[in-house]
Amino acid sequence: MTGKLFVIGLGPGNADQVTPEAAKAVDSATFFYGYTPYVDRLALRDGQVKVASDNREELARANEALARAASGEAVAVVSGGDPGVFAMAAAVCEAIEAGPPEWRALDVVVVPGITAMLAVAARVGAPLGHDFCAISLSDNLKPWEILERRLTAAASAGFVIALYNPISKARPWQLGRAFEILRSVLPAETVVVFGRAAGRPDERIVVASLGAAAADQADMATCVIIGSAETRRIERPDRAPLVYSPRSLGAASR
């Protein structure tokens, strides 16, 4: 008997942004592993079992889920957003690589989801309309010096930057330092978008400038998008501004 492991992306948190593929995968699994707030989103039927755990326990969670799947069960690991973007799919792969050989025989199905930067970008226009990168600002798993180097390289090369995990109680200063680094490369008027809980009732989207951006405008649920020097802001009467990165270089100066 061989079990099955789904790694499911539930999107930013709005039920209308859960794909039918994700909903079907949820329907076909029996055990659900994930960080508590994501598992709590699931409306399960009798016989479906939630196994919620803390944010920091990704590898332990992956191991438990794989062991359960290897026992012949249909198991799901759930993430908010997309499971492949700073989320559980990589932890599951790490666990498979380090785990017993039978885990490599499992049917592993990753179900993509709307990741935070896409949801936030959509709420303001098209800030990711040109080349862009996604960086997790957490230095729990990589040295801070590497992050500084990546921020500088990305901004210098003209990438729009989406920052995931910008700030937390345990990492209070990193976002402020990131803004300092970016201010040394980009103009003060560069557009910055703070996108919190996009598509949820507690959504808060703020369009600011790099010169005025402050770390306390973000929290754990925020994705911060920093424009390139080309990113534009369109003021609109009685509406929030639109933010977009032109498809062509130099369009800003046309």
Interacting positions 135-164 with its own copies (CB under 8 A):
135-136, 141-143, 146, 149-150, 153-154, 156-159
Provide, rounded to whole angstroms, the least separation between the CB of residue 11 and its own copies.
7
CB nearer to its own copies: give 19 or 50: 19
Tell me which residues in 160-219 interact with its own copies (CB under 8 A): none
Tell me which residues in 12-41 interact with its own copies (CB under 8 A): 14-21, 24
CB nearer to its own copies: give 214 or 251: 251
Question: Does 121 engage in binding with its own copies (CB under 8 A)?
Answer: yes
What's the chain look like in SS3?
CCCEEEEEECECCCHHHCCHHHHHHHHHCCEEEEEHHHHCCCCCCCCCEEEEECCCCHHHHHHHHHHHHHCCCEEEEEECECCCCCCHHHHHHHHHHHCCHHHHHCEEEEECCCCHHHHHHHHHEECCCCCEEEEECCCCCCCHHHHHHHHHHHHHCCCEEEEECCCECCECCHHHHHHHHHHCCCCCCCEEEEEECCCCCCCEEEEEEHHHCCHHHCCCCEEEEECCCCCEEEEECCEEEEEECCCCCCHHHC
Q: Binder to its own copies among 113, 166, 195, 227 (CB under 8 A)?
A: 113
Q: How many residues bind its own copies, per CB under 8 A? A: 80
Q: Binder to its own copies among 43, 46, 216, 237 (CB under 8 A)?
A: 237
Tell me which residues in 38-97 interact with its own copies (CB under 8 A): 58, 82-87, 89-94, 96-97
Stretch that binds its own copies, among 30-38, 110-118, 178-186, 202-210 (CB under 8 A): 110-118
